[in-house]
A and B are shown apart, each in its own frame.
Chain A
Amino acid sequence: MTDMTDPKVFEREAQLGDYFALLKPRVMQLVVFTALVGMLAAPVSVHPVIGFASILFVAIGAGASGALNMWWDADIDAVMLRTKGRPIPSGKVEPGEALGIGVALSGLAVMMLALSANLLAAAMLAFTILFYAVVYSMWLKRSTPQNIVIGGAAGAFPPVIGWLIATGSFAIEPWLMFALIFMWTPPHFWALALFMRSDYDDAGVPMLTVTHGRPATRRHILAYTVLLALLAVGTAFTAIGGPIYLVTAVVLNALFLIGAARIWNRNENDSEADNFAVERKFFRLSLWYLFLHFGAILAESALRPWGLGGWS
């Protein structure tokens, strides 16, 4: 029973905003945007109400998997500087509450997506939630330095779900969008791991920086960025690409490659001298990188009705 005379108990009581923070709103933004692009890039038009509701349920499902992740990772979140203000380590939300919210919202989101869109999209959402909560959070994250590589797949599924909402069937195009996010995730997170140095060490998470050392992480960032650039520019010549996408991809990938090469060229002394300015810049660029690539895919499909999008 709550002690009504102790003011500290009141101050820690969770507000709506704390429950919302459990759903990882910033990850949700990325999920909503990429799922929306997946849905709008599909050759089938969706009724606005059905589209809105379906994307909302995808966002709720993504949020639910975020809550499950925070429930499972509360112990390591409490150690890491970047995450110790999260609702569970800060004592605002009980771990059991987070689990309950995660499970309930997952069920609600999958069921409602099956009703608003179709069974295949709902199955894909269920698979994504399981992949993120079980395969990534519970299994890979603490056991292999490839955690980010394989776990990145969880964040890459939303455009596929978006495409399924519109068409109800698989095609090659959504998997190109999947590949783009999948290949983008490792350099994005490894740059973060380079400048949030002690965090992952302290928490005992086997990030590449911890297991293989920081010079190896720099090499990995460059290698993945080269592969990503080939894929991203190559996508320009597929059904979802076009001139706008090509220009965007060429510019962004040139910048991204320069950034990765500079990271590769540096050692720890250089980085510490300017407080990881190059790594931080690369990380910020990586956010724009993904946003603008998907924005360009959206632009190509939006212009198609006027005969302007794509190569035709």
Chain B
Amino acid sequence: MSLRQEHEIHTRRKGRNVGVGLMLAAFVVLVMALTYVKITQSDFRLPDAQGTATQEPDS
């Protein structure tokens, strides 16, 4: 039996890979949505170190 031949196992593995891929994509979208919500909340501010770094040119 040749390995090139399409076997049932290949379709099943593909199903598994597509499933993992979709979950990873969903995770990326979730982290993006979380980030958006966090930085648009009214009490959001940059941590002090970064805050001073970005303010330096003005002062």
Instruction: Kindly report which residue of chain B lies nearest to residue A49, judged by CB atoms.
Output: B37
The CA-CA distance from A16 to B13 in the complex, in Å, is 9
The CA-CA distance from A16 to B22 in the complex, in Å, is 12
The CA-CA distance from A13 to B8 in the complex, in Å, is 12
Instruction: Kindly report which residue of chain A lies nearest to residue B2, judged by CB atoms.
Output: A4
Quick check: B1 and A5 within 8 Å, CB to CB?
yes
Quick check: B12 and A47 within 8 Å, CB to CB?
no
The interface residues of chain A lying within 8 Å CB-to-CB of B20 are 16
User: CB < 8 Å: which of B7, B9, B12, B34 contacts A115?
Assistant: B34
Quick check: B1 and A56 within 8 Å, CB to CB?
no
CB distance from A123 to the nearest CB of B (A): 19
CB distance from A172 to the nearest CB of B (A): 27
Asked if A185 lies at the interface with its beta carbon under 8 angstroms from chain B, I say no
The CA-CA distance from A10 to B9 in the complex, in Å, is 6
Query: Main SS of the interface on chain B?
Result: helix
Quick check: A49 and B8 within 8 Å, CB to CB?
no
Query: Main SS of the interface on chain A?
Result: helix
Asked if A269 lies at the interface with its beta carbon under 8 angstroms from chain B, I say no
Quick check: B34 and A15 within 8 Å, CB to CB?
no
Are A15 and B41 CB-contacts (below 8 A) given A4-B3, A10-B8, A116-B34? no
12-56 of chain B: CB within 8 A of chain A? 12-13, 15-16, 19-20, 30, 33-34, 37-38, 41
Are A16 and B34 CB-contacts (below 8 A) given A4-B3, A47-B41? no
Quick check: B34 and A53 within 8 Å, CB to CB?
yes
Asked if A50 lies at the interface with its beta carbon under 8 angstroms from chain B, I say yes
Instruction: Kindly report which residue of chain B lies nearest to residue A52, judged by CB atoms.
Output: B30
The CA-CA distance from A291 to B37 in the complex, in Å, is 31
Instruction: Kindly report which residue of chain B lies nearest to residue A54, judged by CB atoms.
Output: B34
The interface residues of chain B lying within 8 Å CB-to-CB of A16 are 15-16, 19-20
Instruction: Kindly report which residue of chain A lies nearest to residue B9, judged by CB atoms.
Output: A10
User: CB < 8 Å: which of A15, A49, A115 contacts B33?
Assistant: A49
Sample (29) of A-B pairs whose CB atoms are under 8 Å apart: A4-B1, A4-B3, A4-B7, A4-B9, A5-B1, A10-B7, A10-B8, A10-B9, A10-B12, A13-B9, A13-B12, A13-B13, A15-B12, A15-B15, A15-B16, A16-B15, A16-B16, A16-B19, A47-B41, A49-B34, A49-B37, A50-B34, A50-B37, A50-B38, A53-B30, A53-B33, A53-B34, A115-B34, A116-B34
